[in-house]
Homo-oligomer: A and B are copies of this chain.
Amino acid sequence: MRVLIPYSPANPKSRLGAILDPSERHSFARAMLADVLAAVRSADAEPVLVTDAAIRVPTDDECTVIVTEQSLTPAVNTVLATVEVPVAVIVADVPLLTASTVRRFRSTPGDIVLAPGLGGGTNGILIRDPGFRVDYHGGSFRKHRTIAEQRDATVRVFDSFRLSVDIDEPPDLAEVLLHGTGRAAEWLRQAGIEVAMAAGRTTAVRGD
Contacts and interface: CB of A to CB of B under 8 A. Distances in A.
Nearest to A138: B197
Contacts of A119: 171, 174-175, 201-202
Contacts of A164: 161, 164
A171 B159 CA distance: 19
A113 to B, nearest CB: 13
Contacts of A201: 119, 169
A195 B15 contact: no
Contacts of A159: 98, 100-101, 104, 160-162
Nearest to A121: B202
Contacts of A118: 118, 165, 175
A206 interface: no
Contacts of A101: 159
Interface string A19-59: 00000000000000000000000000000000000000000
A9 to B, nearest CB: 21
A166 to B, nearest CB: 12
Contacts of A161: 115-116, 159-161, 163-164
Question: Which of A115, A164, A195 lies at the interface centre, i.e. has the most chain B CB atoms within 10 A of its CB?
Answer: A164
B139 A179 contact: no
A189 interface: no
Interface string A180-204: 0000000000000001010011100
Given A161-B160, A179-B157, A174 B116 contact: no
